[in-house]
Every structure is written in structure tokens, then in C-alpha cells.
Amino acid sequence: MKLSLPKAKQIIGMTDLVDFPDLGLSDVQAKVDTGAYTSALHCKDVQVKRSGLRKKLSFWLIDKTGEPARQFFSDKFSQRMIRNSFGVAELRYVITTPIVLFGRTIRAEFTLADREQLKNPVLLGRKLLRNRFLVDVSQKNLSYQQKVNSQLTSVVSKKTTSVQ
């Protein structure tokens, strides 16, 4: 009988900079929130549009780096009652999209919410964190630091290879 060891969990800090490859967003400020079950993504003007018999969800993603807002459409979405940070239940749209943390691409659910008044446009909830990460609130940007170090190592190894 072969015993399998539990998979080691990655330590994540209180905040990080994350990438959304399918949405064309990189280095987006995210807050880790173990009090939230579902993750959230900042957007505006979320609405369902009909195209014949098909329904598509339309939403505008606002990039806090000064880039203009971009419109996205999804035909794979749902609606769910979510309790906001004040404990008030609200009906929100939910999409599934890949997020990159520590070089790993994870398909995760994100509620679409107006987070303009909040510091971080992305909230990472327990559903995404569970069985993958341990939170160390004294740390920040660990995934981003790993990404930058990996890119630097790649550049150095390319230069070393071309010199020889």
C-alpha cells in the first residue's frame, strides 16, 4: 500500500500582484481575505445582453494603472447571493477565469463587483486559497517577487548562454 503525502502549501502574503491572462491584465493588486468565501474582481457596468436566443454577460474592467477601461463578454456566467463586507446580501454575477499565482495557473470563480472605493481591485477568498496556500499576514507580494526573480534569472541565463 502506497501512502501519499499531503501536497505542500505555498505561503502567500496579505497582498500580492496577480495576473489574469484571459483578461489581458498583469500585476493587478490583490488582497488576500480569509473572511471572504468567493474571490471578487473590480468592474463596472455589469449587464446581461441578449443576442438572439443567447445571453452574454457584458462588463468593463478598470485597470488602476491608468489604462482605459476595456469591455469583456462572457457566455459562461451565473448569479449568486453574496454577503458583502457589511453583511448585506446582494445578487452578483460570477465568472470563472484563470489567475496566475506563483507561476501556477488556477481556474477560479470571481464575483463581479464595483470595488472603486476599495484599495485593491481584486479580493482572493477562501475558495481559491483552500488546499493551496497558507496566509502569512506579515508578508506581501511573494508571488510577484517570485515572478520578478524568475524573469531576472531567465535574462541572466540567456546572456550567459550567448556569451559562451
| pLDDT tens digits for range 78-130 | 999 988 777 889 999 999 999 999 999 999 999 998 888 788 889 999 999 99
% of residues, the chain, pLDDT over 70: 88
Average pLDDT, the chain: 87
Query: Each residue of 55-81: pLDDT tens digit?
Result: 999 999 876 666 788 899 888 899 999
| Dist CA 61 CA 119 (whole Å) | 15
> What's the whole-model pTM score?
0.84
Does residue 16 contact residue 106 with C-beta atoms inside 8 Å? no
Q: Tell me the residue type at 71.
A: Q
Distance CA(53)–CA(37), nearest Å, equals 33
At position 32, the amino acid (one-letter code) is V
